[in-house]
Structure 1
Amino acid sequence: MSSARKRSEPRKVTKQPQPPRRLQVAALCYKETKVGRKVLLITSRDTRRWIVPKGWPMKGKDDHEAALIEAWEEAGVSKADIEEEPMGYFEYAKGLSSGATVPVEAQVYMTRVRDLKQSYPEVDQRTREWFSPDEAAELVDEPDLKAILRTL
């Protein structure tokens, strides 16, 4: 009888500690057109999924400045007006070269593109394309980024 009682008792579930989220900075690049706002997406280097330019904060740079540097390196944005405060955040799991993933929270900075160059550091590693905000929201994987795009 005591073994039956043991089986029916609720088991304690212990939560595994989650690694802390790492911070990235992202540039949500857009332009105004005759048919409405367009958003610039790029492909990731490894999985080729659609994303916004983003990267790690940079020593000696404010976060919005680092986001603008990422927009240049990854998408060829050579002239832009970027907001100094993030307009939102999204979370995702960043794959590392070791095969592990780390949780990341990306701060999103609105970036009005004034000029794009055809030659830029990662031109041979990524594809870039303009989409309506609704189209862009359908293409990205991250739910919070989808929500941000749908608010534009």
Structure 2
Amino acid sequence: MRRKTNKICKQSGVIPYRVRDGKVEVLLITTRKRQSWVIPKGGVCKGMSPSDSAAKEAWEEAGVVGQVNSEKIGAYKYRKRGNIYQVHLFWLPVEKVLEDWPEATQRERIWLDINHAAMIVKENSLRRILQSSKDQVKIYSSY
């Protein structure tokens, strides 16, 4: 008996971060139904690189703007409505936090220490990426 193979949907996302008082903070957002904390992510837009598409998602979903680092920091998979999604992640040093953005009425956002953020994100594989990349973001934030 052959097993049905599910198509893997490609997405890109960012971990928005800033440095406050020498400490790295990351921005998490809620899902649209405000059920859990996640990072901005979405399908890769046609004609855009994964990192540029991730920057667009950050603006739409979280209201943050910055120059996404084009070096992928990791990837994780999750299931939603019977589909499997693979998210390629990039760092986004936040340069501007907007008061109004496309999904402002649908989501909440919160800045947290990276350790705390890792504890409350929904996906275990995203949690592991956050925990293992603490030193990496400190290097990027020193540029």
TM-score, normalising length from structure 1? 0.83
- Asked if 1:22 corresponds to 2:9, the answer is yes
Matched with 1:65 is 52
Matched with 1:51 is 38
Secondary structure of the corresponding residue to residue 105 of structure 1:
strand
User: How many residue pairs align between the two structures?
Assistant: 133
Structure 1 residue 47, shift from structure 2 partner: 5.2
Matched with 1:76 is 63
> Could you tell which deviates more after superposition, 134-143 or 113-122?
134-143
Query: Which amino acid counterpart does residue 118 of structure 1 have in structure 2?
Result: E
- Using the alignment, how far apart are the partners of 1:85 and 1:37 within structure 2? 19
Matched with 1:113 is 94
- Using the alignment, how far apart are the partners of 2:123 and 2:2 within structure 1? 24
Q: Percent identity?
A: 31
Matched with 2:114 is 133
Structure 1 residue 143, shift from structure 2 partner: 1.5
Query: Which amino acid counterpart does residue 39 of structure 1 have in structure 2?
Result: V
Matched with 1:143 is 124
Query: Which amino acid counterpart does residue 131 of structure 2 have in structure 1?
Result: R
TM-score, normalising length from structure 2? 0.87
- Using the alignment, how far apart are the partners of 2:103 and 2:122 within structure 1? 22
Matched with 2:72 is 86
- Using the alignment, how far apart are the partners of 2:79 and 2:112 within structure 1? 24
Matched with 2:84 is 103
